[in-house]
Amino acid sequence: MSPRLALLTLALAAICLAGDRPPLAPEAADFIKWYATWKVGFNPGEVLKAYGERLAKDGVAPEEVERRMAIINAAVRAMPPEFTAVHFNKIYTTPNAPFRQEPSQFLVRIAETLKPGDALDVAMGQGRNSVYLASKGWNVTGYDLSDEGMRIAQDAAKKAGLSIRTIKASHDEFDLGKSRWDLIVQTFAFTNLSDDGYRQRLFDALKPGGVLLIEGFGGKSDNLVLRGFLGLHIVYYEDREDIADWSMQKARMTRIAVRKE
């Protein structure tokens, strides 16, 4: 499996399992600690294979290797914050990373119609969208679990003579606030949009007239995202096959922008 396809597969698994994570097992914690020292790459299949081989080389019995790897595989698929931080640090610092460096063109189209104000970039990564919004006069805050991603974002902002605010936090930890944002951006943020409570937090965090923009991989064919935001004014919606910024491969994409009246 190519790194790009592996990344897409893992991202889709995160969407499906977000919000349903068991406590981190000791076997998974040991794996994540080892993964932080791994220098070869970030392809999940290759990384897991290498760790299993390392256990065997260390003299761990085959049945015990199998037991530990089953636990680790389940943990990785659930994308716990401990793994997510290490994994995306690897992704954001690898040469020829499998995602676009330019801002989301969907964001560009929507932002051009808005008056700059306070913007939140959810799971900001390397800050491609944060830096773009700051260049257009927005007061930008972004959060992520990847220290390396946020470092790269700050470096890009400083190079452009701009200022952005970065906060290390998971989706559960970050305080969205109440009536705080004129624009909330989620591009490939892998949040659990099927969670009614999370969607309500997003609604509450928007100022009156504020816009929520979401771009990511499509799910089932029942238009879950569209139905979840019927309480807001829908500015734009599409669900179709397209080349994804994240993985740069063809996939089913959902794009929606909604305004709080």
Residue 248 CA: distances (Å) to CA of 11, 126, 163, 241, 242: 13, 16, 29, 12, 9
pLDDT score of 223 more than 80:
no
When pLDDT is cut at 50, 70 and 90, the band that residue 15 belongs to is very low
Per residue in 83-98, pLDDT (tens digit) is 999 999 999 988 877 7
Predicted local distance difference test score (pLDDT) of residue 50: 96
Predicted local distance difference test score (pLDDT) of residue 66: 97
Predicted local distance difference test score (pLDDT) of residue 22: 63
Going across the sheet that includes 118-122, the strands are 165-168, 139-144, 118-122, 181-187, 206-217, 250-259, 233-243
CB 13 within 8 A of CB 77: yes
Closest residue by Cα to residue 186 from 105, 116, 256: 256
Sign of the four-CA dihedral 150, 186, 175, 209: positive
Over residues 114-119, mean pLDDT: 98
pLDDT score of 244 more than 60:
yes
Residue 249 CA: distances (Å) to CA of 7, 125, 178, 190: 11, 19, 37, 17
DSSP assignment of 98-146: SB--SPPHHHHHHHTTS---EEEEET-TT-HHHHHHHHTT-EEEEEES-
pLDDT score of 231 more than 80:
no
CB 59 within 8 A of CB 102: no
Predicted local distance difference test score (pLDDT) of residue 10: 52
Over residues 178-200, mean pLDDT: 93
When pLDDT is cut at 50, 70 and 90, the band that residue 14 belongs to is very low
What is the chain's mean pLDDT, rounded?
89
pLDDT score of 43 more than 80:
yes
Closest residue by Cα to residue 42 from 101, 100, 1: 1
- Phi and psi at residue 16, to the nearest 5°: -70, -35
The CATH-assigned architecture of domain 105-259 is 3-Layer(aba) Sandwich (3.40)
Residues in the chain: 261
